[in-house]
Amino acid sequence: MKFSGTVFRYGRDVDTDVIIPARYLNSSDHAHLAAHAMEDIDPAFATTVKPGDIIVADENFGCGSSREHAPVAIKAAGVSCVIAKSFARIFYRNAINVGLPILECPAAVDAIAAGDAVDVDTEDGSIVNRRTGERFTAEPFPPFIAEIIEAGGLVERTRAKLAAADAAAGAPAPAGE
């Protein structure tokens, strides 16, 4: 997967409470969550983020509560991927589960500023800062994680696998599909 976007830059310990404040957790509507993404740390984020933009952050991105709403809000806002020095473990797993690509690359984080244009290729882990021409390499996703992200998340991957298995077995598709 390849992405190009403008960077929104944040510091360390960006917790899920500022990614999507608890006052909005009574909704599972992705558009509603996107409208409030990052508002407690960056009030202009939801109105300035464009599809394909990239979040770059220091250590421990996504710490705090284990709410799946956090990566959902970021993805629904149009963010193509998040690059950080490190991620909180539960956020990392939730991001993969909802199909939000995340990459750990401390050297890239140190060299990328807010507003930089960045190209990312998750297949080889390359990250290129178009402003400076600097190139960095993150660990590429293992094939099974790449498959989950490419499918749009774990639920979508599972649906596709079940549909393929049903088709191979000659079972009729469920009603409504």
Q: State pLDDT tens for residues 37-96.
A: 999 999 999 999 999 999 999 999 999 988 899 999 999 999 999 999 999 999 999 999
Residue 152 clears pLDDT 80, i.e. is over it:
yes
In the structure, what pLDDT confidence band is assigned to residue 168 with cuts at 50, 70 and 90?
confident
Give the pLDDT mean for 103-116: 98
Sort 131 into a burial class: Cβ within 10 Å, 0-12 / 13-18 / 19+: middle
**Contact between 3 and 81 (Cβ < 8 Å):** yes
For the entire predicted model, the pTM comes to 0.90
Instruction: Tell me the pLDDT of the chain averaged across its residues.
Output: 93
Residue 177 clears pLDDT 60, i.e. is over it:
no
CA distance 173 to 165: 11
